[in-house]
Structure 1
């Protein structure tokens, strides 16, 4: 089997249904499977979608296991040579998946690939390609300098701003909203780190792929629609999970760095978390 598409869902039935229609069209010429891991949705997903998509495999959990753990759960029953981890609030064009698989075949150094993501208005989403959250990259982003110099290789490195959005290039970090990876490599790195409940797991996996000598490729010539936040509720839990994941990443990967290095990052993360919580009433 060529490809396994794994989608984690949580209270996003309508988005998931539209996503599945697009994925099925994109897989018409591919030997593959679609696996949905539902984290205890209460919106009718379990009651309504299996009958509409009889060829899709569904796993229904009795609790919200988080994104990383649910992805690993789906991967354990999958069979494809490649695994695509896909958000439920995405829409794929028909040639997207075949183009990604073709790229792997002519780039043996590719460990994982991501694509150019656009929002519902066609605006480019900068998180399609990212650099690692180093102190300097975090500083420039935190204080708004990245927005002022969006094409700078140094100042805009958090979003790899110097790389054209319509070209293919190796990058540090791919988005977990669309990440296709070789099965053998995913198994070699032991999958997603389940310490990350939600958010940050894609940064962690991207780094571990690089550490094994493989490249993460951003494919700017392939575009998908990502209804950013369509399956996300912005509340205190979101801020806690998101910035908690960033703090976990620093503790895991920068533990050998000087104390001041880690303190700078953790102080910035704490500041952004506080700011996010304070602005919640205005969203």
Structure 2
């Protein structure tokens, strides 16, 4: 019987900064574990086909933009019975080689935990509020339209767990999807991401599904990563409408 990999990871590619992506890929390749990285190319012209040629990398050309969740779901058959842990990774994330092994140690400690994620920092070292309570509609409006923030200040404050000590681990309601480390079997039990979300809210949705599985998610700030965070929906009207549509789908579902 073929021995399982310690970890697999997937990155969905579309309109990526190649320098940032290369840094992310290299971060994963430096992890001292048996591993495999899947690069899912959502571009129509296979723009990333011949860029990364390493034995531990498998390139998957989709040929069209199928979205974030559906892209990551492309690897479900490939990781089934093939890895112990699976990482959902954004293409603009950097981390030290010990982060993943240390997170795996923590994830192994509790059979009721399906997913773990580290503290997330901006490149300048500022804290990103990556672990949050499940969003309220008012909070989403306040975060999108800054003039509304004073009205819903307490809602946003509580939603970002600013009432907790974020230097300590705890079971968060949801964790943003730039870096989700799953037990592979649990990720498969969840059937991956709900593909009805093309972009945005799929990370909140899968955390809800973990709840329904009777499992938990842990925020573990002893390990840190850096995330560029594009905030595309605040800069692009097209992405803003995608975010709005996903939010509608989320609140209709949950």
Task: Give the structure-1-normalised TM-score.
Answer: 0.79
Counterparts of 1:59 and 1:14, CA distance in 2: 20
Q: Report the counterpart of residue 104 of structure 2 in structure 1.
A: 101
**Pick from 18, 21, 24: which aligns with 1:16?**
21
Give 1:26-41 correspondences, 5 Å limit.
Answer: 27-28=31-32, 30-40=33-43
The alpha-carbon distance between structure 1 residues 100 and 232, as it changes in their structure 2 partners (threshold 3 A), is farther
Superposed displacement of residue 54, structure 1: 4.0
Aligned to 1:187: 188
Unaligned runs of 5+ in 2: none
The aligned residue for residue 6 of structure 2 is 2
Tell me, yes or no, if structure 1 residue 46 matches structure 2 residue 31: no
* Cα RMSD (Å): 2.4
Shift of 1:233: 9.0
Q: Go from structure 1 to structure 2 and tell me whether the alpha carbon gap of 1:160 and 1:252 turns closer, same or farther (over 3 Å shift).
A: same
**Once the 2 structures are TM-superposed, how far is the Cα of residue 164 of structure 1 from its aligned partner?**
2.0
**Hey, what's the Cα distance between the residues in 1 that align with 2:75 and 2:57?**
12
Going by fraction, where is helix more abundant, 1 or 2? 1
Measure how far apart 1:71 and its partner are.
Answer: 0.4
Q: For 2:136 and 2:231, how far apart are their aligned partners in 1? A: 28
In our comparison, the structure showing a higher alpha carbon Rg is: 1
Equivalent-residue separation in structure 1 for 2:250 and 2:65 (angstroms): 21
Conservation of the 8 A alpha-carbon contact between 1:91 and 1:225: yes
* Counterpart in the other structure of 1:269: none
Equivalent position to 2:86, from 83, 86, 108: 83
Q: Which residue is 1:122 aligned to?
A: 125
**Kindly tell me: are residues 91 and 41 of structure 1, through their superposed partners in 2, closer, same or farther at Cα, counting changes over 3 Å?**
farther
> Displacement of 1:161 after TM fit?
1.5
* Partners of 1:162 and 1:140 in 2: CA distance: 18
What is the deviation of 1:39? 0.7
Query: Do the aligned residues in 2 keep the contact of 1:145 with 1:155 (CA within 8 Å)?
Result: no
Could you tell me how far apart the structure 1 residues matched to 2:153 and 2:216 are? 29
Deviation at 1:100, TM superposition (A): 0.9
Q: What are the residue-to-residue correspondences of 1:237-276 with 2, within 5 Å?
A: 237-253=238-254
CA contact (8 A) 1:163 1:169 kept: no
Deviation at 1:44, TM superposition (A): 4.3
Task: Give the alignment of 1:36-75 within 5 angstroms.
Answer: 36-40=39-43, 44-47=47-50, 49-51=51-53, 53-75=54-76
C-alpha distance in 1, partners of 2:105/2:215?
Answer: 17
| Aligned mates of 2:198, 2:141 — CA distance in 1 | 25
Report Cα offsets for 1:169-224 as digits up to 9, x if no partner.
11100111001111221121211000000110000000110122111111111110
In the alignment, the residues of structure 2 paired with residue 56 and residue 93 of structure 1 have an alpha-carbon distance, to the nearest angstrom, of 19
Matches within 5 A, 1:160-199: 160-199=161-200
* Per-residue deviation, residues 227-270 of structure 1 (Å, max 9, x unmatched): 111888931211011111111100111xxxxxxxxxxxxxxxxx
Matched, 1:214 2:219: no
